[in-house]
Homo-oligomer: A and B are copies of this chain.
Amino acid sequence: MAQKPSIPKGTRDFSPIEVAKRNYIFGVIKSSFERFGFQPIETPSFENSDTLMGKYGDEGDRLIFKILNSGDFYKSLRMDDEVTLYGLEKFYNYLDKSLDNNIGTLMDSIDNELKLGYKKNENYYKTIKGYILNIKEIDFSKLLPLDEDYKSKCRKIILLRCARLFLLDSTTHISKISEKALRYDLTVPFARYVVQHQNDITFPFKRYQIQPVWRADRPQKGRFREFYQCDADVVGSTSLLQEVEFVQLYDDVFHKLGLEGVTIKINNRKILSGIAEVIGAKDKLIDFTVALDKLDKIGEEKVKEEMISKGISKEGIAKLQPLFSLKGTFESQIESLNDILSASDEGLKGIEELAFINTAINNVGLKTASLQLDVTLARGLNYYTGAIFEVSAPEKVQMGSIGGGGRYDDLTGIFGMPDVSGVGISFGLDRIYLVLEELHLFPETIANSVEVLFINFGDTEAFYCLKAIAKLREAGLNTEIYPDAAKMKKQMNYANKRDIPFVVLVGEEEMKANSFTLKNMKSGEQTKCSLSDLIQAIQ
């Protein structure tokens, strides 16, 4: 009964070297987070569905992995008369009547009903029609002669099948059979955490969180159904110094990773609102920003077309013209924006915020990254209210953003704690991994693998070795003994395949002399030495 083993699509196994490389990135990010005063928290992998549902839009709700209630998950549903049978009863009445009159005209009746337009259920009727025609046990050609027995049999089959069709309603049942769901991001659980533990927290609260999240997205290159997020957020202060520190933090991490040429793009939601206000499309802010966000990808003309198709006036778009060619230094862009947005208080506020951040960063300096103003930056997330961040990999690498974030003014409000401002950034682990891989930036000594293998010549020799091995391990050396007294060649092969740089050989001679033979696997050189020499040679 052997099964061919596989894993669910969009998930991954990580081999030892992959784990080591991922841990290297996590380690660098963690150490920077802690240098900047962030503290780690962890939240459960699954939350109550109530906590997550409705926080990420309809699309998000769809992509959240739901966990079935344990045991007989239908129990409450079966016994619960509150689960409406309205649709089923209505349909039953209708179907029953059709069947009584003349089962042969059933299809015509359904067509008629469709034409009348049964409220909201039109699709159901289409589905059901196709479905009934496909019930294998029914020979519809036999229905025209008035064979009452056959009609009665078909009547039963159709009723049962249709009952099933109606009863199995995902939308109605979901909240009854599933009350928990896998974490979709780290921000909503963090907001929940802050509200739940508000009495134990000292604000402003600087937390970081590095945990996996799960999304039922269509898997594609670089997009997975299980992946880690690395988030740092501050809640409880509106100070722009935090935005400044997040720019420094990005710089610090990518500097430590040896990744040069990273661009930290910044924008401000208030500038986007200001622009929408100035062109008289305040109510179309989302349509507007979604279109503007595509400037890099589809170009000026297509963006304008999209804006027009969304009902933004040509006059408004004309006022925007300077925006499409906004280039140059941070400072000169700020100047142009001051002109464009002079009529919008909100827009001017946004400019002021950006200017502050830029001045502070110029003052303190960055190590490796550069800060760039990008007014087309909107990011999908509608909850940003101030700064918006996005980090691009160096131009020589074909890769989207490797980080992002922003300020959101009232995230904890959904959990009953209003007016707490938050700002945070996130690192895209998987993409950073690919970038480091492509640019060969992973240190060579990353794997923490075995440094020395003791060859096994039998129990007596092994017992002698075990004592030495204990000493080597105490000296911090990753050490192992080949478990079986296998052929020498097999043991040496094992050392080679695992890239173990040293092997130690102990036979009768060495045991007598209380010594060891050390072989350097690269040079092939063999030396006889004492235990302390052995340790020194390998260290």
Please report A residues at the B interface, Cβ cutoff 8 Å. 1-8, 11-16, 19-20, 23, 34-37, 39-48, 50-51, 62-63, 65-68, 70-75, 77-79, 81, 83, 85, 88-89, 92, 96, 131, 135-136, 156, 159-161, 163-165, 167-170, 173-174, 177-180, 182, 192-193, 195-197, 200, 202, 204, 206-207, 212, 214, 216, 226, 234, 237-239, 241-242, 244-245, 248, 252, 356, 360, 363-365, 413-416, 447-450, 456, 459, 462-463, 466-467, 470, 473, 476-481, 483-484, 494, 497-498
Top 4 closest pairs, chain A to chain B, by CB: A37-B480, A2-B416, A11-B44, A239-B483
Main secondary structure of the interface of A (DSSP, over half): mixed
Provide the bound-state CA to CA distance between A244 and B483, in Å: 10
Whether the Cβ atoms of B13 and A43 lie closer than 8 Å is: yes
Q: A19-B41, A170-B72 are in contact. Are A202 and B494 (CB under 8 A)?
A: yes
Q: Of B180, B415, B478, which contacts A2 at CB under 8 A?
A: B415
- Residues in B neighbouring A498, C-beta threshold 8 A: 202
Whether the Cβ atoms of A47 and B78 lie closer than 8 Å is: no
Most central of A45, A196, A456 by chain B CB within 10 Å? A45
- Residues in B neighbouring A180, C-beta threshold 8 A: 8
Most central of A65, A447, A498 by chain B CB within 10 Å? A65
Expressed in whole angstroms, the minimum distance between the Cβ of A463 and any Cβ of chain B is 5
Whether the Cβ atoms of A196 and B74 lie closer than 8 Å is: no
Whether the Cβ atoms of A170 and B67 lie closer than 8 Å is: no
Q: Of B131, B244, B416, which contacts A3 at CB under 8 A?
A: B416
Q: Of B1, B206, B478, which contacts A37 at CB under 8 A?
A: B478
- Residues in B neighbouring A195, C-beta threshold 8 A: 5
Expressed in whole angstroms, the minimum distance between the Cβ of A181 and any Cβ of chain B is 9
Whether the Cβ atoms of B170 and A74 lie closer than 8 Å is: yes
- Residues in B neighbouring A75, C-beta threshold 8 A: 170
Expressed in whole angstroms, the minimum distance between the Cβ of A47 and any Cβ of chain B is 6
29 contacts between A and B (CB under 8 A): A4-B416, A6-B48, A7-B196, A8-B46, A13-B43, A19-B39, A19-B40, A20-B40, A37-B450, A37-B480, A46-B214, A67-B67, A68-B68, A74-B168, A78-B165, A79-B131, A89-B156, A96-B156, A159-B159, A163-B163, A163-B167, A167-B167, A234-B483, A241-B456, A244-B466, A360-B466, A363-B466, A364-B463, A364-B466
